[in-house]
Amino acid sequence: MHKNKSYNILDAKLDAEYTALKKSIKNRDSYTHVRGESLYVDDVNIRQGTFHAVVFDSPKAHGKIKHIDYSKAEALEGVERILTYKDIPGKNQIGGIIPDEPLFAENEVHFCGMPIALIIAETEFIAREARRLITIDIEDLPVIITAKDAKEKGSFINEPRTFNLGDSEKAFENCEYIFEGETFSNGQEHLYIEAQGAYAEPLENGNIKITSSTQGPTAVQKTTALVLGIAMHKIEVDVTRLGGGFGGKEDQATPWAVMAALATYHLNQSVKLVLNRHDDLRMTGKRHPYESSYKIGLSKDLKILAYQVEFLQNSGAAADLSPAIAERTLFHATNSYYVPNVTTKVLSCKTNLPPNTAFRGFGGPQGMFVIESAIARAADSIGVSARTIQEANLLDENDTFSYGQVAKQVEAKNSWNSAKSLFEIESLDQEVEDFNKNNSVFKKGMAFMPICFGISFTNTPMNHARALVHIYLDGSVGISTAAVEMGQGVNTKIIQIAAQVFSIPLESIKIESTNTTRVANTSPSAASSTADLNGKATLKACNILLERLKKVASKYHKVNPDQVSLKDGFVYVDHEKSQVEWQHLISMAMIERVALTENAHYATPEIHFDKSKEKGHPFAYHVYGTSIITTTVDCMRGTYEFDSAKIVHDYGKSMSKGIDLGQVEGALIQGIGWMTMEEISYNEDGKLLSNALSTYKIPDLFSVPKHVETVPLETDGHVLAILKSKAVGEPPLMYGIGAYFAIQNAIKAFNPNYNMKFHAPMTPEKVLMGLYEKKPD
Ligand code: MTE
Ligand code: HPA
Ligand code: MOS
């Protein structure tokens, strides 16, 4: 059905061979991780004389700064300097999409935790002591906490966006059933194990090297240059790996790196700034809370004919990535369903919370929660199961998304039907029914969650990458790309690609740190596209080198280059093994003065999007899948456990089964956490209440479903996916949405008066209220 396109000859050539790689492979980092030897920013060997910095931040969510007294702090022994906006030689501006965010507050503060000054001292301890000695006088201004309040007050980040397909207004006239409602999904703390941080060192001539825990080294480089008022080439950013990012370090790793560099600029000394957990929780943004209202219309045979939704995104006090995240909410507003008449609108609401930011799924999960809620509401009122409506509306080949892209290689029904048959849905249903019949205090609930997630940066110009490949004299290989390893296993995948092309052992290949002087002008590692973009660039570079090496071998063997191949570390001629080993071939290439370095560029073909029409083809492809989650609710206590999560996932042709499975399982649990227990809470003054792990509950071993079963869907993959192995980073997070509805179904089994609510997370408190409430008259 799907043909390889001409631009993809490299893939096509590999297609026949890559089966050797489609086995389970260990993450390259697992050895050093387990031994505690992996290096993070906090482990950098610091230079003698390095200073340590701590951020002084706003204690108020909104106000005018009347006076700050730094004198006591400055007088403390060991304090070197306190820097404020007045010390910024360039622009006091870190906004990536919209220039609306100062690095340091000037005359006003806009959220609790907003950086005001940087205290630089001989030790971190002294800097913290000094922070306590600073007094600040702030005149209060009105505080906006919720998106709804912001909307009422006309407080927005930018203009609203609207996607439209068909005529939803008119389509409601032909609907048998129409339902309206409101939903809320809360934010989510990234809780990367490694907190935000950076280390800056002075080099000669005013150059600065920054070691940063960032997903976007170029963003750090660009913003540092802007703030310091110097050229980008004076700033080198280096990243070895992150102890998790989850989107929280796509944009929000930048300020700390810039601050460290600013201090280095002034003091000509190395400066280390690593946030402790409390500071990180308070100062950084999270997943965006969304308040949304929908209207859904269905025909008699349960086809969704019309869907309207307005999303209120709680953006926080500055734009950060909110506009792009809002856009992705619209792209995923209909999940994996075909709806012929759709009107979606998103408003990025400016509030006095820390600027909210990218988080796995990038606004997609928030969009999908609303249509799942609308379906559940409709099902409850009509008196059918949500599953019936979900199944009746699954996307088909050549259906059009509201943004104009025509769905191809659709696996919505395939994954759904596979889940039903593989997991023997009839017996699952029977189990739940029997259990609920025989138990009065415990009730089970089950829910299906289909997913459809678009792969590519929604901002088309960002979809490119480069790879720099060196083959060293001894035959070992070093690769630099823009890919940032954050636990997702991208380095291992890139090693596999090179090993495949050169047919040499994985151990012969090293991934270098991600560094802006080796690979420049890069997009962040995000949008689940890191392996596709950087992997394709690597594939290209390796193939060019391979062709060069084949020429060298063909000259030696006096044959044509196309008679030569490389296999298992040897040169083959006409598929016969020769005496020439890989290392020998590299020596020959050196003697022949052949370049053993290649730098290749890859830009995703085909994709485009016209914002003036809100139509186009923004995604290289979509990832599909279906999860079935079953829960048991303790109807005395309101607590719950997850019996199982059964998933059919569309990996395409997975090139690293172990890594990809890890991504699915991790994302599933992260999604369940978001939907069920992780409750971010700010008080009305804008202070973060859930400011420690004692007040912010994330999934632990007991929250994980007792059985997690993931079955790969056998699909063709996609030519735009690296080696047809589809992107896997974000999509499975949305399987967790099923947990919300599974719990709700269990509550319904206990309490026939339960009035469905769509207010995530579904914490045990809310479950308990639901179990014993009476339907309003
Ligand atoms: N997995 C781990 N272990 N750690 C992470 O920080 N980030 C997620 C996902 N999986 C993340 C992760 C997010 S938000 C994205 S966008 C992708 O990985 C980024 O990597 P990829 O593009 O290589 O999938
Ligand atoms: N996903 C993740 N990060 C991004 C995107 C996206 O679509 N666009 C800009 N940054
Ligand atoms: Mo992921 S939210 O695109 O970093």
Which residue out of 488, 723, 735 has the highest number of ligand 1 atoms within 8 Å of its CB and is therefore the one to mutate?
488
pLDDT for the residue 714:
80
Tell me the ligand closest to 362's alpha carbon: 3
Q: Kindly tell me if the per-residue pLDDT of 7 is higher than 70.
A: no
Cβ distance 550 to 561 under 8 Å?
yes
Atom of ligand 2 nearest to the CA of 328: 7
How many whole angstroms from 81 Cα to the centroid of ligand 3? 36
**pLDDT digit string, tens, across residues 620-674:** 999 999 999 999 999 999 999 999 999 999 999 999 999 999 999 999 999 999 9
Q: Kindly tell me if the per-residue pLDDT of 14 is higher than 60.
A: no
Helix (H, G, I), strand (E, B) or coil at 150: helix
How many whole angstroms from 250 Cα to the centroid of ligand 2? 9
Active-site choice (101, 730, 765, 773): 730
Question: Which one, of 536, 513, 602, 528, lies nearest residue 214 by Cα?
Answer: 513
Helix (H, G, I), strand (E, B) or coil at 701: coil
Q: Kindly tell me if the per-residue pLDDT of 4 is higher than 80.
A: no
What is the side-by-side strand order in the sheet with 570-573?
Answer: 564-567, 570-573, 576-581
How many whole angstroms from 535 Cα to the centroid of ligand 1? 15
Question: Which one, of 334, 323, 313, 316, lies nearest residue 459 by Cα?
Answer: 323
Residue whose CA is closest, atom 1 of ligand 1?
488
378 CB-near residues (< 8 Å, 6+ apart) = 177, 179, 296, 298, 389
pLDDT for the residue 24:
54
Residue whose CA is closest, atom 7 of ligand 2?
457
Atom of ligand 3 nearest to the CA of 729: 1
Question: Which one, of 247, 531, 216, 193, lies nearest residue 361 by Cα?
Answer: 247
Token pair, residue 384, equals 């059918």
Q: Kindly tell me if the per-residue pLDDT of 731 is higher than 50.
A: yes
Identify the band that residue 777 occupies on the pLDDT scale cut at 50, 70 and 90.
low
453 Cβ closer than 6 Å to some ligand 3 atom = no
User: What is the spatial distance between Cα 199 and Cα 155, in angstroms, rounded to a whole number?
Assistant: 36
The DSSP annotation for 276-344 comes to -HHHHHHHS--SPPEEEEEEEEE-TT--EEEEEEEEEEEEESS-TTHHHHHHHHHHTTTTTB--SEEEE
Q: Which residue has the tokens 């599974």?
A: 742
pLDDT for the residue 12:
40
Question: Which one, of 428, 427, 411, 404, lies nearest residue 645 by Cα?
Answer: 428
Cβ distance 349 to 155 under 8 Å?
yes
Identify the band that residue 21 occupies on the pLDDT scale cut at 50, 70 and 90.
low
526 Cβ closer than 6 Å to some ligand 3 atom = yes
**What amino acid occupies position 572?**
Y
Percent of the chain's residues with pLDDT above 90:
96
The question of whether 189 is a catalytic residue gets the answer no
Domains defined for the chain, CATH in brackets: 408-458+617-777 (3.30.365.10), 464-603 (3.30.365.10)
Cβ distance 409 to 621 under 8 Å?
yes
pLDDT for the residue 716:
87
328 Cβ closer than 6 Å to some ligand 2 atom = yes
How many whole angstroms from 359 Cα to the centroid of ligand 1? 10
Identify the band that residue 2 occupies on the pLDDT scale cut at 50, 70 and 90.
very low
What is the side-by-side strand order in the sheet with 271-274?
Answer: 79-83, 115-121, 51-57, 271-274, 197-202, 208-212, 235-239, 514-515
Q: What is the pTM of this model?
A: 0.96
How many whole angstroms from 313 Cα to the centroid of ligand 3? 17
